[in-house]
Structure formats: C-alpha cells, structure tokens
C-alpha cells in the first residue's frame, strides 16, 4: 500500500505543559485552543505509546489507539487532529460513533479489543468552557503516576509534530469506527444478565428517571435501559450537546456533575415518589448519583450496599486469594465497618480494606473494586469508575430483594452504623492564599489541645499512601487529617481537576450507631470548628458549601 506523506511541523517555542492531575489534564478552551498546543500535547503521548509498544515488543496489531470522549465543544475537531498525529506516528485508530464514548466504555473497549491504549477527550464534571484529556493504558486503567510523569517529560521535549491527512488516512482504512455502546452494553449484560432483569422489571413494573446531563450518557442509557432492559424510563437531557447544557440564569456555565446543584429536574422527578430508581451521570459517565422513591444514596453508602450484595455479580470468581475493597482516604469509612462481615462472606479469601489517594487510577491498579466520595464507584470487570454499572447494580439488588433504595440503606446502617459525611470547599483565585492554607495545615499540629468552635483539636498531620503491594510510599501527603473531639474527623486536600485558581476540598465525617439523625446537625459542628480553626490561624479567605444543602440528607430536620 502506498505510504501517506507525513508533514512535520517544527516546534520552535514549545509550551510548558502541566503534568496531568487527578484525572487527565484540564485547561480552559482558550489554553487548549492555542496554536499547536493540542498538537504538542498529543505528539508527546504518541512518543510515549511508541516507547511502550517498541520497548515491550507489543505485537504489531497493538499499534492501535482508541480515541473518543464527551460531546463538549471542539472535541469532534480535536479527534480528527489527534487521529492525524497518531497516524503519522505509526498508529491505527479506532473511533467511537460520533466520537462519543463514556470513560468506562473506553476502558473496557481497550481491553476487550486488545489495543495499546486510549485517549479520552473529557474534562468530565468541568463545564464546557474547559477541555480535558485522559490517557488510559492497554489494561484499560488510567495512566498511573509513573506513566503520567513520563508522558509529561516527553510532551515538554517535543521538537516537532508529525501529521498526516485525515481523510486520506481514513480512505486507507486505518481509521475504523467501533460500536462502543454495544461493546459496553454486552459487558453489563454479561455481569448482570439482562434477560433475567428484563423479566423482573416487567413483572414489577419498575419505573426509572435518568439524567444524562447532555453528556456522553444518552446513547448508553438509551441502549441499556430502553432497548435492552425495556424499562419504562424517562431519559432527561439525553441528547449529547456541545455546550453540555450551557449557562444558568446567572450566566455561569452548568457543570455536568451529578450533584444537587446541577440536577434540579431529576430531584423534582425523584421527589414525586413515582420513580423506583433515578440516576444522574457526569459528562463522561464515570460518576453517578443513584436513588429512587424520594431518596438519594451517598457514594460510600452505596458501595457498602454493593459489598453486601457482591455475590450477585460473582466477584469472588475474579480474585484468586485476596479481595481489595478500596476507598479513597477522604471517603466515608463505611466499608471499613464491614470487614468482619466480608471476612465471613468470603471465608476462603483474604479481605483487605485499602485506603488510597484521590483519583481512580489508584483504585484501578489494585483491581478496581472501590469507591470515591465524589460519586465514583468501580467494578472489578473493568479499570475505571463507572456510573451506569452502579445504576444497574442498584437495580439488580432492588429486583432481587424487592426493596427500595431507602430500605436497602437502612438495613446497612442498622447493621453496621452510619458514617455521617459531607464535602465542602475553600476556594479562591490567589496563589498566595493557597500557599497560606498549605502552611496553616502543615502547622496544625502545633494547635493540638486548643478548642475550635465547640470541638477540641486532638491530633493533626498528613497522610501518606503506602502501597499495599510494594510496601513503599507511593504518594506523600495525599491529605491532611485533623482529628477533633467526639470522633469528628476533617480531612483536606487541594483539588487536581480545576483549570484556574485553587480549591481546597474539605471532608467532614463522623461515625454514629444511630443512623436516622439529620446529617447537617452532625456536620455543622465540624464546619464551625474548621472555620474557627482557619480564622484563628489568620486565614483571610472564606470557606463555603458545607451547608449540606447540595447533598443528600436522608432524615431532614422536621420543620416546626
């Protein structure tokens, strides 16, 4: 076959490209759209995959990379550009229909089709004014810390970008469209047995409402819940849109994030009490908020439910000797309470509860059975967090037990107790403020014994991640940990997904055997203590969003 002409563009003044953060690199549209920025970024990734595929002698057929993502502005053109760079560097390309794929579907397709990796174009929960790119490896997992480091070195050393003509490359059948929706739906069918579920759904007359948030979820939800499960379901905002919903009334871009601030319509549907199951998924469908019958389930709680019913997806068949139940360290420790129960449930396996840093790559590399507080949960069948998997699993449990989400959760809490949890933030634009916060938190140990709000600071320090398989420190200072009196714990860390300014995420949690208290009553104390701690340490900025108003609260205070 005739070879295509490769054009090389010399990069005289390379951009200083940042290392990928919690999940890929997120920058504003403006940054990604600078001349040759995307090109330099992708050329670096191409060099990285070349290194891997040459060094590790991966067979010639593995010189293939899948490219797709969420529908945000500019992604379609970016996919073409990316394909022509990868093509010029010797790779064949697989593209999803319309360029749209969820992150978990990409993860699964990479492994299923046995390719070298994937480039996922998504800034996930960030609004359409941001652009993001994630890189996943041949096992389907997000690039780990070491790989990210290497990619970044290569990106910043790019001397020239190679390109070929996209259309001519496509004519040579080097670009193939794949039906990623079907590939992914087949996996869920294998895990859950859709035929069986379909019959049970029909028998029980299950109704659903699902909010696709104008992201990549629409085609997946349609195929799974409507076509395959034949469910009576309302799909809200299911058409993938470039603006992911556009702006709110105040002129701020909407975040495609399954959080109370952004799912008003679904909340209304749920509070009608008419829907057995409801769910919202973020723009790349790796996170979810599930519920039903006027009830929403918090992430860590839902994972506890999944652990209890893990036999329904036959997880023990996937693990030889040990099963890791992971949670990121800042996530409510609900799963930890279940250790004796899980040991009894799986007597022939060694059960370990693992705390990881934030970012699903840490959980993925351990086999991917874990949870993050930010509405991400994984399953051991693929190597990403997965929103629709979660919704299907909840549905499966409901069908098996005939119980509502609230009843299922109340059983868990009655058996194991409840970890009350909330996530807040301190954010701003100034780097000096961020540095000051770092200093304050680093020095918190000196304030042990002092009273803040109504609570006494009992200990303060930071948490390092010791890798359970290597035994060495894999991530230093992954969170600050402040323990206050009466079992109140606050953790904090800087967000790694923003495209400007800083955001310190603040996580409050407290265990109680009693489960039916209004959540805000418990978390309020911690919020006041942390605010007071910042004030007394001389921090001028403001904290916000601990009010729990934007989070599920199963037992609201009765209005007088």
Compute and round to an integer the Cα radius of gyration of the chain.
23
Under 8 Å between Cβ of 269 and 275: yes
State the binding partner of 223 from ligand VG1, Co ion, none, CB within 5 to 8 A by kind: none
Given ligand VG1, Co ion, none, residue 22, with its beta carbon under 5 to 8 Å by kind, binds ligand VG1
Provide the minimum distance between the beta carbon of 110 and Co ion in the complex, in angstroms, as a whole number.
Answer: 17
Applying CB under 5 A, the site for Co ion has a residue count of: 5
The size of the interface with ligand VG1 (CB under 6 A), counted in residues, is 17
Residue from the set 215, 359, 370, 424 that interacts with ligand VG1 by CB under 6 A:
359
> Going by C-beta distance under 8 Å and a sequence separation of 6 or more, which residues neighbour residue 173?
none
Q: To the nearest whole angstrom, how small is the minimum distance from the Cβ of residue 508 to Co ion?
A: 23
Among 102, 138, 145, 108, CA closest to 120: 102
Footprint on residues 114-173 left by Co ion (CB under 5 A): 124
Closest approach, Cβ 67 to Co ion, in A, equals 17
CB of 415 to ligand VG1, least distance (A): 27
Q: Shortest distance, CB of residue 317 to Co ion, whole angstroms? A: 28
- Supply the minimum distance, in Å, between the C-beta of residue 282 and Co ion: 4
CA 127/CA 116 separation, integer angstroms: 30
Tokens 């079907």 correspond to: 182
Tokens found for residue 173: 């059948």
Nearer CB in complex with ligand VG1: 62/497: 497
124 binds ligand VG1 (CB under 6 A): yes
136 neighbors 120 (Cβ within 8 angstroms):
yes
Options 70, 211, 282, 553; binder of ligand VG1; rule CB under 6 A: 282
Place of tokens 């998504």: 122
The interface with ligand VG1 within residues 489-528 (CB under 6 A) comprises 495-497, 505
State residue 258 phi and psi, 5-degree precision. Answer: -75, 70
- Closest separation between CB of residue 396 and ligand VG1, Å? 23
Residue 531 CB, shortest distance to ligand VG1, in Å, is 20
- DSSP-derived secondary structure for 59-128: -GGG-EEEEEE---TTHHHHHHHHHHHHHHTT-EEEEEEEEE--HHHHHHHHHHTT-SEEEEE--TTS-T
Our CB check for ligand VG1 shows the closer of 142 and 367 to be: 142
Residue with Cβ nearer ligand VG1 (102 or 152): 102
Query: Is residue 22 within 8 Å of 358, Cβ to Cβ?
Result: yes
Minimum distance between the CB of residue 551 and ligand VG1, rounded to whole angstroms? 14
Instruction: Output 276 or 284, the one with its CB closest to Co ion.
Output: 284
Query: Phi and psi of 151, rounded to 5°?
Result: -60, -45
Phi and psi at residue 51, to the nearest 5°: -55, -45
Q: Which of residues 362-391 bind ligand VG1 (CB under 6 A)?
A: 372, 374, 376
Reduced to 3 states (helix: H, G, I; strand: E, B; else coil), residue 423 is: strand
* Number of residues in the chain: 560
Q: Distance between CA 516 and CA 554 in Å, rounded?
A: 8
DSSP 3-state assignment of 372?
strand
> Which partner from the list ligand VG1, Co ion, none does 372 bind, CB cut-off 5 to 8 Å by kind?
ligand VG1
Q: State the first-to-last Cα distance of the chain, in angstroms, to the nearest integer.
A: 79
Smaller CB separation from ligand VG1, 120 or 323: 120
Closest C-alpha to 226, from 409, 418, 218: 218
Minimum Å gap between C-beta 257 and ligand VG1 is 7
Tell me whether residue 117 or residue 258 sits nearer to Co ion (CB atom).
258
Interacting residue with ligand VG1 among 147, 286, 301, 365 (CB under 6 A): 286
What residue is closest to Co ion based on CB?
124
Cα angle 271, 274, 275 (rounded to 5 degrees) comes to 90
Q: By three-state DSSP, how is residue 44 classified?
A: helix
Distance of closest approach, residue 134 Cβ to Co ion, in angstroms: 9
Q: Which partner from the list ligand VG1, Co ion, none does 376 bind, CB cut-off 5 to 8 Å by kind?
A: ligand VG1
Quick check: 374 binds Co ion (CB under 5 A)?
no
Among positions 23, 238, 356, 488, the unique one binding ligand VG1 when judged by CB under 6 A? 23
Which span sits near ligand VG1 by CB under 6 A: 8-16, 184-192, 352-360, 546-554? Answer: 352-360
Between residues 25 and 229, which has the closer beta carbon with respect to ligand VG1?
25
89 binds, among Co ion, ligand VG1, none (CB under 5 to 8 A by kind): none
- Closest to 361 in 3D by CA, of 380, 379, 377, 384: 384
Kindly tell me the burial class for residue 490, based on how many C-beta atoms sit within 10 Å of its own C-beta (0-12, 13-18, 19 or more).
buried
Least separation in angstroms between CB 358 and ligand VG1: 5
Give SS3 for 202.
Answer: helix
CB closest to ligand VG1, residue no: 124
> According to the binding rule CB under 6 A, does residue 22 interact with ligand VG1?
yes
Return the one option of ligand VG1, Co ion, none that residue 298 interacts with (CB less than 5 to 8 A, by type).
none
In whole angstroms, give the CA distance from residue 220 to residue 143.
Answer: 24
Q: Mind spelling out the 3-state secondary structure of 228-278?
A: HCCCEEEEECCCCCCCCCCECCCCCECCCCCCHHHCHHHHHHHHCCCCCEE
Q: Shortest Cβ distance from residue 505 to Co ion (Å)?
A: 16
Residue with tokens 């009466």: 486
Task: Pick the piece of the chain touching ligand VG1 (CB under 6 A) from 171-179, 196-204, 355-363, 434-442.
Answer: 355-363
Residues that bind ligand VG1 (CB under 6 A): 22-23, 124-125, 282, 286-287, 358-360, 372, 374, 376, 495-497, 505
Residues that bind Co ion (CB under 5 A): 124, 282, 284, 286-287
């Amino acid at each position: 076959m005739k070879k295509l002409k490769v054009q090389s563009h010399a990069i005289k003044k390379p951009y200083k490209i940042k290392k990928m953060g919690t999940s890929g690199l997120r920058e504003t549209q403006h940054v990604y759209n600078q001349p040759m920025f995307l090109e330099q970024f992708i050329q670096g990734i191409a060099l990285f995959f070349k290194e891997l595929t040459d060094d590790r002698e991966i067979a010639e057929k593995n010189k293939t990379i899948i490219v797709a993502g969420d529908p945000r502005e500019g992604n379609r053109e970016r996919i073409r550009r990316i394909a022509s760079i990868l093509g010029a560097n010797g790779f064949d390309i697989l593209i999803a229909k319309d360029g749209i794929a969820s992150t978990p579907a990409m993860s699964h397709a990479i492994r299923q089709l046995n390719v070298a990796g994937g480039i996922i174009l998504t800034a996930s929960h960030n609004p359409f004014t941001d652009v993001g790119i994630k890189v996943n490896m041949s096992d389907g997992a997000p690039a780990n810390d070491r790989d990210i480091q290497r990619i970044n070195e290569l990106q910043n050393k790019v001397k020239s970008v190679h390109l070929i003509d996209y259309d001519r490359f496509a004519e040579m059948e080097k670009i193939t469209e794949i039906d990623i929706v079907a590939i992914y739906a087949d996996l869920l069918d294998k895990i859950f047995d859709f035929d069986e579920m379909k019959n049970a759904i029909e028998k029980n007359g299950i109704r659903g409402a699902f909010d696709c948030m104008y992201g990549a979820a629409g085609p997946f939800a349609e195929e799974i819940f409507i076509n395959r499960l034949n469910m009576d379901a309302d799909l809200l905002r299911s058409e993938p849109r470039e603006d992911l919903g556009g702006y709110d009334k105040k002129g701020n871009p909407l975040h495609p994030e399954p959080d109370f601030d952004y799912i008003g319509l679904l909340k209304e549907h749920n509070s009608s009490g008419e829907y057995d199951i409801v769910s919202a998924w973020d723009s790349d469908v790796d996170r979810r908020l599930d519920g039903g019958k006027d009830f929403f389930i918090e992430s860590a709680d839902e994972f506890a439910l999944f652990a209890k019913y893990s036999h329904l997806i036959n997880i023990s068949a996937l693990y030889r000797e040990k099963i890791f139940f992971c949670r990121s360290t800042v996530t409510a420790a609900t799963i930890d309470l279940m250790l004796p129960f899980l040991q009894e449930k799986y007597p022939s396996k060694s059960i370990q509860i693992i705390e990881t840093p934030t970012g699903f790559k840490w959980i993925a590399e351990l086999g991917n059975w874990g949870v993050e507080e930010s509405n991400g949960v994984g399953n051991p069948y693929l190597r990403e967090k997965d929103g629709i998997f979660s919704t299907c699993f909840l549905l499966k449990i409901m069908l098996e037990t005939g119980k509502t989400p609230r009843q299922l959760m109340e059983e868990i809490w009655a058996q194991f107790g409840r970890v009350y949890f909330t996530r807040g933030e301190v954010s701003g634009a100034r780097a000096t403020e961020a540095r000051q916060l770092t200093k304050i938190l680093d020095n918190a140990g000196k304030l042990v014994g002092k009273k803040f709000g109504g609570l006494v600071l009992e200990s303060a320090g930071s948490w390092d991640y010791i890798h359970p398989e290597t035994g060495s420190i894999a991530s230093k200072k992954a969170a600050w940990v402040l323990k206050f009196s009466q079992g109140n714990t606050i953790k904090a860390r800087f967000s790694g997904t923003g495209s400007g300014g800083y955001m310190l995420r603040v996580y409050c949690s407290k265990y109680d055997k009693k489960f039916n208290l209004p959540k805000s009553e418990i978390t309020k104390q911690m919020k006041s203590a942390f605010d007071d701690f910042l004030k007394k340490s001389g921090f001028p900025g403001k904290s916000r969003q601990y009010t729990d108003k934007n989070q599920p609260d199963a037992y609201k205070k009765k209005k007088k």
